[in-house]
Homo-oligomer: A and B are copies of this chain.
């Protein structure tokens, strides 16, 4: 997706530790026009799938999932990152290690909102080592729902997440795959 790649080149900032900051348009401040175009692109890519629900994870996946869901006419469900007193006991739960925060957390989804009849499109902003995405895949598998695929805005192609998930046979579509990045250069796959 050229518009996205141009934006990453123009406004993304590479930080030590393989951190790519895109907080001016994607995950702190959000450019709604750009994200709507991202949603339209996900619709184009998964137009042949009978999707019934979009699944994401809090926090930065939610806005992207909601804007995308408009083009599929389906609800969004977002997994939560730790036990909340407002969630019923009846939840799907899995443990995930965070690349950004260097800690483990629980990913939780109420069983009411995902069933064996669902065809699920998973949406998230980033894919690096794939821990969050594998957590979401676990949850869909627990529910018995079908995984139609996963749509990722930015994949760090030099980390293992994408390879691991594609090898499981899950259809993974990343709109921008970064092949390498250093302080003064960023290349796409």
Which A residues fall within an 8 A CB radius of B?
15, 19, 21, 23-24, 28-33, 35-36, 58-60, 62-63, 65-67, 69-70, 73-78, 80, 84-87, 100-102, 109-110, 112-113
A57: min CB distance to chain B, Å: 9
Is the CB–CB distance between A30 and B86 below 8 Å? no
Which of the residues B76, B86, B101 comes within 8 Å of A63, measured between beta carbons? B76
Number of copies: 2
Q: Evaluate contact between A110 and B59: CB separation under 8 angstroms.
A: no
Asked if B86 and A100 make an inter-chain contact with CB atoms under 8 angstroms apart, the answer reads yes
CB <8 Å contact, B80 and A28: yes
- CA distance in complex: A19, B88 (Å): 12
A63-B65, A77-B28, A78-B30 known; A84 and B113 CB under 8 Å? no
Listed by A's residue number, 5 A-B pairs whose Cβ atoms lie within 8 Å are A28-B77, A28-B78, A58-B58, A59-B62, A66-B67
CB distance B70 to A30 under 8 Å? no
Given contact pairs A86-B19, A101-B85, A66 touches B35 in the complex (Cβ within 8 A): yes
Distance in angstroms from A66 CB to nearest chain B CB is 4
Closest B residue to A23 by CB, please name it.
B110
Contact at B24–A113, with CB atoms within 8 Å?
yes
- For A21, list chain B residues within 8 Å (CB): 86
Select which of B19, B24, B33, B78 is within 8 A of A112 by beta carbon.
B24
Given contacts A23-B87, A60-B62, 9 further A-B contacts (CB under 8 A): A19-B85, A24-B112, A28-B110, A29-B112, A29-B113, A32-B74, A62-B62, A63-B63, A63-B65
